[in-house]
Amino acid sequence: MSELAAIRKKMAEEQADLVALLLAAEKPDTSFDRRQIELYSNTLKKKRLKALKSAWPVFNQIDRHEAMEAYLVRRPSTPKYHHGLLDGRLFLRFLADREELGAELRQHLIDFDRRYRLSGRRLMPRERFEQHFYEWCLIWSRRKLR
């Protein structure tokens, strides 16, 4: 292996370690500057919040900043999940687990689930007949619960 290839390989390994630290919110080891890691990590959080609020405008209207911060810490971003719509859906599930999901957000969640379904790690739009079937099942289950 040439010297240039060895340098490139070492740089690629260091970059992979840095990305893993930033995305997984792990504690940095001694090979990276702690302040730089925190700065880059906060920048990624801000970008993620911006994407989340852009995909779900309702989050701009509610005051759930503490819950959003807790969600971001609990579920660090990964490249497979870095999608504003999916991230917002997972945030609503996080709020439901904490029993902080209000009536307005519950309605947004129902509307979203009517339009999209989760297939693996991708959101797939539902066909129109699937949307009607979902609505029918939801109405039927509500009647059954009464």
**pLDDT surpasses 80 at 3:** yes
Region of 120 please: left (phi>0), alpha (psi -120 to 50) or beta. left
pLDDT of residue 87: 84
Res 145: pLDDT? 42
Residue 79: the pLDDT is 57
Which tens digit of pLDDT belongs to each residue from 74-92? 877 665 555 788 888 888 8
119, 72 contact by CB (below 8 A): no
- Supply the pLDDT for residue 68: 85
Look up the pTM and report it.
0.67
Question: Which pLDDT value is given to residue 86?
Answer: 84
Q: Which of 132, 52, 127, 128 is nearest to 89 (CA)?
A: 52
**Angle at which helices 84-97 and 34-55 cross, to 10°:** 90
Q: What is the pLDDT of residue 142?
A: 59
Count Cβ atoms below 10 Å from residue 82 Cβ, excluding itself: 14
Write down the pLDDT at residue 28: 56
